A and B are shown apart, each in its own frame.
Chain A
Amino acid sequence: MAEKIKILYIDDEMDNLTGFKATLRLDYQVFTAVNIPGAMEHLEKHADIRVIFCDQRMPITTGVEFFEEIRGTHPLPMRILITAYTDIESVIDAINRGNIFRFVKKPWMEPDLVSAIEEANKFYQANSMLSVKNEELQRAYSELDKFAYSVSHDIRGPLSGILGAINVAREMYDITEMKEMLFLMEKSLKKLDTYILSMHDYYSLQRGELHIGDIDFKKLTEEFKDIYKVFTNTANISFKVNINQREPFRSDTVPLKLILNNLLSNAFKYQNKNTDAKMVELTIDVHKGVATIQVSDTGIGILGNHLGEIFNLFYRASSQEAGSGFGLYNVKSALLKLNGQIEVNSVLNKGTTFKVTIPTK
């Protein structure tokens, strides 16, 4: 059963509070207070109170005054005034000023209260939904800005390079030089292609749904051994894989592979050229429903002042390789989908270790 809606009722007459609570406590979680300080205490403790009922005629502060006060400090709960017809002037005034959602006449009848709560709750939910959507929209806009900026560099950059190369080629007659340039052109185009593929990953991570299935890490990592054979053979980097899985693990292979692939390709790419025994080590332990994945390398390391920013979109902490600034951001997005965590440990010129923990679904 869903959690009960929290409501608060303020009235200086104890009998009213008791009657109110007795009527509604089965269907709602009811908080009561005989005065304003008591009410404020409840509001501070329970930020998720959705509906506040308040009696109009109280000593010191009237209901209308109270609602006017908390409108600024606690804007989310729906405010409902309980009052007798004789106070109608002040009620009309309060409603017109937007301080009150509804009023219930005194003495109240149970159906009136329930319908007021249900209506108020609908409004509350619509408002919260709106603020969540607003936040998402704000984030999407700020990422769109980053994209617009990156298009000017990461897409136009390689293209202007290729155009420049074509210009130069018009006055180039040496075949070796031409081949050298073609090789560099290819490199630039591959970078552009990687950028576009990563952009696709980015989009599918933001929008795609999860497809949960059984994960066999041994099988999954066999694929990576093949992919990184090029590095192990040509760049003389040894690749150690240790898998320790004795229990089933359920997750989505697509974001899982994306995480592994980005961490591994970084580990291979950002190797320290001066190190003799170059190595990348992947360790996966599945224990009590949690997969712990560690990727360690003997690479160039990451300077401490960059560590906080490496998961940001388009952030690059090295000029050694052609990074797009997408990889670790996508890793973070994928982990968000799988409820996972990531930690990084790095020593400059010695190596970096990423530790990922993901719970089974």
Chain B
Amino acid sequence: MSNIPRGIRRGLFGVSLPVYALLYLPLSVIAIFSFAPSLHHPGVNLAAYGELFNDATVLAALRRSITLAFGSAILGTALGTLMGFGLSRFRPAKGGGFWVGALPSLIIYTPIIMPSLVFGISELIFFNLVHEYTGLLSAGLLTMGIAHVTFQSPYVALVVYARLTGLDPNLFEASHDLYANPIKSFLYLTIPVVRPALIGGFLLAITLSIDDFTISFFTAGPGSVTLPIYIYSAIARKGSSPEINALGSLMIATVIGVALLYYFVTRRQQQRSRQIPAVA
């Protein structure tokens, strides 16, 4: 903004550049180390990647991570979308008392605010008890998935809610006015207008799932080692290794890829269906 004097803008640039560098320094270090030469392989060395793709444990962990991310994201997006839709459309505009007004918000914000460790340990105890008394829900991908859905759905709900409350409330009435019954209105109006939020929410849910370690760690079972847990135990066991560097680099690359995809998809959608400015 031109209001900031030139000198200060230069100063800001001077301070910010190192901050950006600092943000990417550790990530690039991992990437560089993953190609580092070793005793038998001088120069740029792809051996670590080769090992990685032949390591059945890693591939199994990758498969589990992907299953977990997509499985939980699908359910988390469905539940979150319904929550965001319901709260924006059917909650009274003002008040509504504690039960309808405040309680749903409180419930939705709990998973977001609660420290991951408390979250994870609560789940650990709960699943243990349930398993002890009913034999159901033994620790594994299923319990991890349940926990992931629990923290994904509130974020999706927030994204969808923000999109819907940003819309002209008359839109829904207009669709009914133009002969759309509730089902047609949902199909031809609600779904298309929340689509950007839906896609954004789904990608966000996947990112959250891939990003999480603490909650996964406490809900995982012996047979459900996912990539983050594999890396964590590998570090605990033997410190750093070229293989972990390679794995880390691939995970970073994936996340940056998803982030860029998310960014461009939402931006394109926003441009195409920019909201009509509200009329005073």
Partners in one complex: no
Spell out A's residues near B (CB within 8 Å). Answer: none
Spell out B's residues near A (CB within 8 Å). Answer: none
